[in-house]
């Protein structure tokens, strides 16, 4: 059937999983087992089917099973709309992770063109109240789901900014050294800003059009100080004008790397940062679902969703509503929880998997609902 889902997943020497293989269909996947059994390791492996360092943001060498440290490998059969791809990603020793798509070496960025992934993990529960870095990563993950090339333009911006910051730290004052770098930063920075605004517009639209049990969030793209110029020319001029101030600080003080995501619980008019823990979690779930609905229209299928311990913070009514919305979307959502009772409302609408630990080795066992 058309859609976006994994029909097979194989792990080798990945964290606590010495070996494991799952045969799957397009339904959601409910994973239960005790703490420390390897549930999050399983969905972390799936997160590596997208560009970047995965949901834990770990180095490739840290993902290898200990004490063997032989390296690791993940293989998946990915059904992407009307195409089927074999995807492999692996790392050996201290080397960077590598990717193969249909037996051909590929870049990580190529993963973003055939798969769309979003995740929500407990570390993100404090997203609204901690630093802007986490909110930017969340925003860029959503943006990349609509515009895979966003990853590439972000890398280009970061590379040019690092070189400019090196000049600033070395107190280089000759303008000629800065012109080419600032042109690169301005071109990439304006594109990043436009991509983020486009993604937010799609997500806000999807929220407004949906009947959902989860609260709507009003979102605004802001800067930690000042305003972000809209055009590349304006950003290039702003970088040139900010050069003296940047020299004093030893770093670049204007650009999309200074962006922030401001959220408001719309029904109450309360900033997300001031909401209760449960309300903040519900807002994040709402945004993930809105992103998935928008992507179903934009890409042709909802993304793979990785929801770690998401049910633990929801009451039974909202938990059932989440499952109903995921099933209505047709998303293959991978959800973890400590007990099977957390997924009882799903019944045979989902595939159920039990993860256990035996002498430090994770075991994956499919179960009947």
Of the two residues 196 and 314, the one the predictor is more confident about is 196
CA distance 304 to 284: 16
Q: Is the pLDDT of residue 3 over 70?
A: yes
Residues 6+ apart with CB under 8 A from 70: 13, 64, 92
Please report, for the chain, how many H helices and E strands are present, in that order.
Answer: 9, 15
The pair of three-digit structure tokens given for residue 124, joined into one six-digit string: 């993100």
Place of tokens 């920075």: 189
Per-residue pLDDT band for 231 (boundaries 50, 70, 90) equals very high
Q: Please give the mean pLDDT across all residues of the chain.
A: 94
CA distance 39 to 359: 16
Per-residue pLDDT band for 369 (boundaries 50, 70, 90) equals confident
Q: Is the pLDDT of residue 347 over 90?
A: yes
DSSP class of 260: E
Give the CA count within 13 Å in the CB-facing half-sphere of 243: 17
Residue 230's nearest CA partner among 269, 266, 259 is: 259
The pLDDT tens digits of the residues spanning 171-195 come to 999 999 999 999 999 999 999 999 9
CB 331 within 8 A of CB 305: yes
Positive or negative, the Cα torsion across 280, 284, 290, 294? positive
Q: Is the pLDDT of residue 298 over 80?
A: yes
To 5 degrees, how large is the angle CA 237–CA 240–CA 243?
150
Q: Which domains does the chain have, with CATH numbers?
A: 1-116+301-369 (3.40.50.300), 127-298 (1.20.1050.90)
The pair of three-digit structure tokens given for residue 101, joined into one six-digit string: 């798509």
What pLDDT, on a 0 to 100 scale, did the predictor assign at position 209? 86
The pair of three-digit structure tokens given for residue 201, joined into one six-digit string: 């517009």
The pLDDT tens digits of the residues spanning 42-85 come to 999 999 999 999 999 999 999 999 887 789 999 999 999 989 99
Q: Is the pLDDT of residue 311 over 70?
A: yes
Place of tokens 């035996």: 358
CA distance 332 to 6: 8
CB 97 within 8 A of CB 89: yes
CB 167 within 8 A of CB 258: no
What pLDDT, on a 0 to 100 scale, did the predictor assign at position 1? 53
The pLDDT tens digits of the residues spanning 17-46 come to 999 999 999 999 999 999 999 999 999 999
Positive or negative, the Cα torsion across 102, 78, 116, 342? negative
CA distance 86 to 76: 6
Q: Is the pLDDT of residue 107 over 90?
A: yes
CB 201 within 8 A of CB 284: no
How much of the chain exceeds pLDDT 70, in percent? 100
pTM of the model: 0.93
């Amino acid at each position: 059937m058309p859609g976006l889902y994994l029909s097979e997943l194989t792990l080798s020497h990945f964290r606590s999983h010495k070996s494991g293989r799952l045969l799957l269909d397009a339904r959601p996947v409910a994973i239960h087992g005790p703490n420390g059994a390897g549930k999050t390791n399983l969905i972390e492996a799936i997160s590596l089917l997208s560009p970047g360092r995965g949901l834990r943001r770990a180095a490739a060498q840290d993902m290898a099973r200990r004490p063997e440290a032989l390296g690791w490998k993940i293989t998946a059969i990915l059904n992407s709309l009307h195409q089927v791809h074999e995807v492999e990603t692996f790392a050996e020793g201290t080397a960077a992770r590598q990717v193969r798509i249909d037996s051909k070496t590929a870049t990580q960025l190529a993963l973003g063109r055939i798969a769309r992934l979003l995740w929500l993990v407990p570390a993100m529960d404090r997203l609204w109240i901690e630093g802007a870095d986490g909110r930017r990563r969340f925003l860029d993950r959503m943006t990349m789901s609509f515009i895979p090339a966003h990853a590439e333009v972000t890398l280009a911006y970061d590379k040019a900014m690092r070189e400019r910051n090196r000049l600033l730290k070395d107190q280089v004052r000759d303008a000629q050294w800065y012109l080419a770098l600032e042109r690169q930063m301005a071109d990439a920075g304006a594109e990043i800003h436009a991509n983020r605004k486009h993604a937010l517009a799609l997500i806000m639209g999807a929220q407004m059009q949906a009947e959902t049990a989860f609260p709507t969030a009003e979102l605004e793209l802001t800067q930690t100080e000042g305003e972000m110029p809209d055009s590349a020319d304006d950003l290039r001029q702003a970088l040139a004008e900010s050069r003296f101030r940047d020299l004093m600080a030893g770093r670049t003080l204007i650009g999309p790397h200074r962006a922030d995501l401001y959220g408001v619980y719309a029904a109450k008019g309360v900033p997300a940062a001031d909401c209760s823990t449960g309300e903040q979690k519900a807002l994040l779930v709402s945004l993930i679902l809105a992103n998935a609905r928008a992507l179903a229209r934009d890409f042709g299928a909802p993304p793979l969703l990785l929801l770690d311990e998401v049910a633990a913070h929801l009451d039974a009514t909202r938990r059932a509503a989440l499952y109903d919305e995921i099933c209505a979307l047709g998303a293959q959502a991978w959800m973890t929880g400590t007990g099977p009772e957390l997924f009882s409302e799903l019944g045979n609408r989902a595939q159920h998997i039990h993860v256990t630990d035996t002498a430090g080795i994770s075991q994956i066992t499919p179960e009947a609902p």
